[in-house]
Structure formats: structure tokens, C-alpha cells
Amino acid sequence: MSQSPQPWSQRFETALHPAIAQFNASIGFDINLIEYDITGSQAHAQMLAKVGIISAEEGDALVKGLEQIRQEYRQGQFNPGLDDEDVHFAVERRLTESIGDIGKKLHTARSRNDQVATDVRLYLRDRIRQIQVDLKAWQAALIAQAERHIDTLIPGYTHLQRAQPLSLAHHLLAYFEMAQRDWQRLDEIYHRVNICPLGSGALAGTPFPIDRHFTAELLQFEAVGKNSLDGVSDRDFAVEFLCAASLIVMHLSRFSEEVILWSSQEFSFVTLSDRISTGSSIMPQKKNPDVPELVRGKTGRVFGHLQAMLTLLKGLPLAYNKDMQEDKECLFDAVITVRACLEAMTILLAEGIEFQPQRLSAAVAEDFSNATDVADYLASKGVPFREAYNLVGKLVKTCVSEGILLKDLSLERWRSFHPLFEMDIFEAIAPAQVVAVRNSYGGTGFEQVRQQVIAAKNLLV
């Protein structure tokens, strides 16, 4: 392997062992930061010229040279390799090759420590906004399905046991609320990401008369880091992002699990289209819910990145340590995974799933999920709720022993349990009525759900 000049001083007499050079290098993954590194370096060069550390002509040459490297990279003409160790040295090397010794002035008044911290923040700032757009697309798909299914009933569950019937739209809008919190969390994290560490130096700042606020303004950061030690060693923002990313995929995984259950023959609440399903290599009748299964599986991957980042940081003394090179692959993969999961689930919901209203309607009519409404019926007539609750428990026990449902009881049988039952009990326990009367704010009543759909649509405008 050829050896290029090392990006450190001539204190060292020999080059790295080839295996150690490969082990030490990060160019294989931090190449993802190249355009952010170029953008940050251009701002740094402009600042150096502004304060007189370099001349205006030198500043212009550096900015133009860096832009040329950006275009070379985009056109596939600049492909850094292992000899460059990392993306920062790769850009600086190419810059010096391109414009001569002026390129060697670029690194004045900065360190790779504050340089990489800046690059990662610039990268994550952009990715957060992209994921927020992805979340809005997911929410739009949820709203579109909810709007079609306000009057569609679905069994509601607690402990995975039938509880009370719901509007299907209400069920879908629960995931809209989760996604809205995800969006809000990212928005809060964005502002803590958007703080400029450039100018912190290796750890202690710099004796050069730099203008950190000017650089931050050029890079559209909201604020400047107040402590140089913290500036180069802080990765709290990365941990926060991975926490938010974990919550996003956790929410997607919960929905995925429901889709997997709903699409099974035992439930048959939905059918999945051929465009988002696969078959079995041996069982010709199979249609497998691969998308939700993969999302459910990839959730563990993102959780792992969060745990890896926390473990990485927990024992590090101030300030920068080489361990922190390991932060990038966690971030990069989590971003890719979250975006892929959001896209896949949005496609599934928008194009790949068909709810079965008749099967859902039958499902809510074949259980005792209207039992609470019988207790509420008696309570509305003055019977203490706990007394009514116990009476309905006996009613259900009787029906179970006879293999019938509450709707199968005659009025005479109802009155044998309590004289306040009238003919209107049959309307009160009809599934659609059970849903309709739950019109408290945030409830599953049809009118409430219509208002929830309108409110959700307004949030996306």
C-alpha cells in the first residue's frame, strides 16, 4: 500500500502499519459528510479572511477551490480512499493539490475535533428536517385512511382481549398523534443540534482573533457553543436524535404488529396487496406481510444504535477521544433505517392495505364488548355504577354459560335481572350506538372523530 503524508506532525518516524491504518481510518463512512465538510470549510475560510488572518484573495481562492472539490465529488471525479484516513484530510489534500500552498492555510485556527463536530451537526440538521417531511407523509396516509373509515367499526382491545368497539378512524388517528409527538420531538432536538462548535479548536479555543459568531451566521446556526471543551466532546444531540428515532420506529413497529395480526386468517380484518407482499418458496397459498415484519425487525436495529451511542459515551473523559469516531455509523444507519421504514409504511398504508368493513362489523357484533354500555344504561337510570357493574357481570356469566350474546336476550330475560330494563336496551347495546355515544372530547364517537380528522388535516397544512 502506498503511503501519503500523514495528517499529523513529523514527530513520527514511521508510517502506520497497513492493518492499523485501515483500522484507524473512517473515510469508508465519513465520506457521507463531505459536502458538509466543504460547506463548513468555506465558512471558516471566509471568516479567516474577514478578520485578517489570511488575505481576501486567499479567502476567495480557498472558497472557490472547495467549491471545485464539491463539483468533482458530485461528478464522480474525486473519490477519496484509505490513504486519506478521513474526509477532512481528503478535502484538505485535494484542495492543496488544486490551488497550491494556499490550501495549507485552511486549517488555521481550527482542529479536526471542532471540524467534525460541526460537520455532524450540519448533517443531522438536514436529516432531521427530511425525517420531519417523511413523518408528515406518514400522517397524511393515516388521515386519508381515517377519512374513509370514520363510520367503520373495529374491535378495541386491552390486554389483546376484546374491550369496546371503536371507529376505525379513531384507531388510526391514535398513530397520527404518536407521529405528531415524534415530529415535535425532532423539532425540539433540531434547536439543540443547531449550535455551532466551530472555533472550539482541539479543546481550548484558539489564540487567533477569530469571529465565531460570523462563522455561525454563515452556516445558519442559531447560536454558538459557549464552552470549547463541551463543543468538541458533546454528542448529547446525537443521543437525543437516536432516542427520537427509536420512538419513531417503535410507533411504526406497534402498527406493524397490528397489521400482521389483522392480515392473518384468524383476524381477516385487512387484505394486503401483491405490491407490498411476498409469497412462500414452498407453500403456494401464502401471502406474507414482509413490510411490517421488516419494520418490526429494523426497530431493534435502531434501538441498538441508541444503546451503542450511550455505551460509547459513558466512560469518556473530556474532551475528544478516538472512541467518538464510532458515533457516525450509528447516526448514519439510524437515519437511513428510519427514513426507509417511514417510506415503506406510508406506501403500505396508502397503496397496500384494504380494510374489510363487513368482517370488522361482524367482529364487533360477536362478543361482549358492549357490556360496559349495559352498566352505563342502568347507571343513567339511577342505579349506582358499581351495583350495575356487578349485575352485568352476572348477566355476562349467564350468557356465556348458555352460549348466547347479550343481544340474544329477550326483554323478559333482561327484566328478570333488573326491572329498569326497557326496549331501548337493544338500541343501547348495538355496536354503532356504543361507538356513537362516546362523544366526549377525544373519544371515539363519530362526531368527535370527524372533528379529529379536521384538526389533523389542519396540522398538516
Query: Domain ranges in the chain?
Result: 18-108, 113-362, 364-460
Q: What is the mean pLDDT of residues 64-83?
A: 94
Q: Which of 40, 127, 16 is nearest to 91 (CA)?
A: 40
CA dist 200 and 386 (Å) reads 66
> Containing H/E element for 355?
strand 353-355
Q: What is the mean pLDDT of residues 177-198?
A: 98
User: Mean pLDDT, the chain, as a whole number?
Assistant: 94
Which DSSP string corresponds to 142-160?
Answer: HHHHHHHTSS-EEEEEETT
Architecture in CATH of 113-362? Up-down Bundle (1.20)
What pLDDT is stored for residue 1 in this prediction? 35
Q: What is the mean pLDDT of residues 231-257?
A: 98
Cell of 192: 439543540
Q: Are 40 and 111 in contact, with CB atoms under 8 Å apart? A: no
Better-scored residue on pLDDT, 225 or 278: 225
> Containing H/E element for 307?
helix 290-313
Which residues in 162-199 are b (16+ Cβ under 10 Å) and which e?
bbbbbbbbbbbbbbbebbbebbebbeebbeebbbbbbb
> Containing H/E element for 270?
strand 270-272
What pLDDT is stored for residue 20 in this prediction? 85
pLDDT tens digits along 374-390: 999 999 999 999 999 99
Instruction: Specify the range with the lowest mean pLDDT, choosing from 197-201, 220-224, 284-288.
Output: 284-288
pLDDT tens digits along 305-334: 999 999 999 999 999 999 999 999 999 999
Q: List Cβ neighbours of 18 (8 Å cut-off, separation of 6 or more).
A: 1
What pLDDT is stored for residue 120 in this prediction? 98
What pLDDT is stored for residue 9 in this prediction? 58
pLDDT tens digits along 152-181: 999 999 999 999 999 999 999 999 999 999
Q: Are 203 and 184 in contact, with CB atoms under 8 Å apart? A: no
CA dist 133 and 139 (Å) reads 10
What pLDDT is stored for residue 249 in this prediction? 98
Return the biggest CA–CA distance within the chain. 101
Q: Are 34 and 87 in contact, with CB atoms under 8 Å apart? A: yes
Q: Which of 266, 256, 254 is nearest to 289 (CA)?
A: 256
- Alpha-carbon distances, residue 77 vs 1, 70, 94, 125, 315 (angstroms): 22, 10, 11, 27, 41
Q: Are 338 and 131 in contact, with CB atoms under 8 Å apart? A: yes
Which residues in 46-62 are b (16+ Cβ under 10 Å) and which e?
bbbbbeebbeeebbebb
What pLDDT is stored for residue 2 in this prediction? 40
What pLDDT is stored for residue 317 in this prediction? 96
Cell of 294: 421488516
CA dist 199 and 110 (Å) reads 6
pLDDT tens digits along 5-47: 555 556 667 777 888 888 888 888 899 999 999 999 999 999 9
Architecture in CATH of 364-460? Orthogonal Bundle (1.10)
Which ranges of 318-410 would DSSP assign to H, the alpha helix? Answer: 327-351, 357-364, 371-380, 385-402
What pLDDT is stored for residue 3 in this prediction? 45
Q: What's the length of the chain? A: 461
Q: Which of 179, 105, 112, 84 is nearest to 139 (CA)?
A: 179
pLDDT band at 104 (very low <50, low <70, confident <90, very high): very high
Rg value, the chain, Cα: 31
pLDDT tens digits along 422-460: 999 999 999 999 999 999 999 999 999 999 999 999 999
| Residues that are catalytic | 159, 280
What pLDDT is stored for residue 60 in this prediction? 98
Residue 287 per-residue DSSP state = -
- At residue 52, the 3 state secondary structure works out as coil
Query: For the domain 18-108, what is the CATH superfamily, name and number?
Result: Fumarase/aspartase (N-terminal domain) (1.10.275.10)
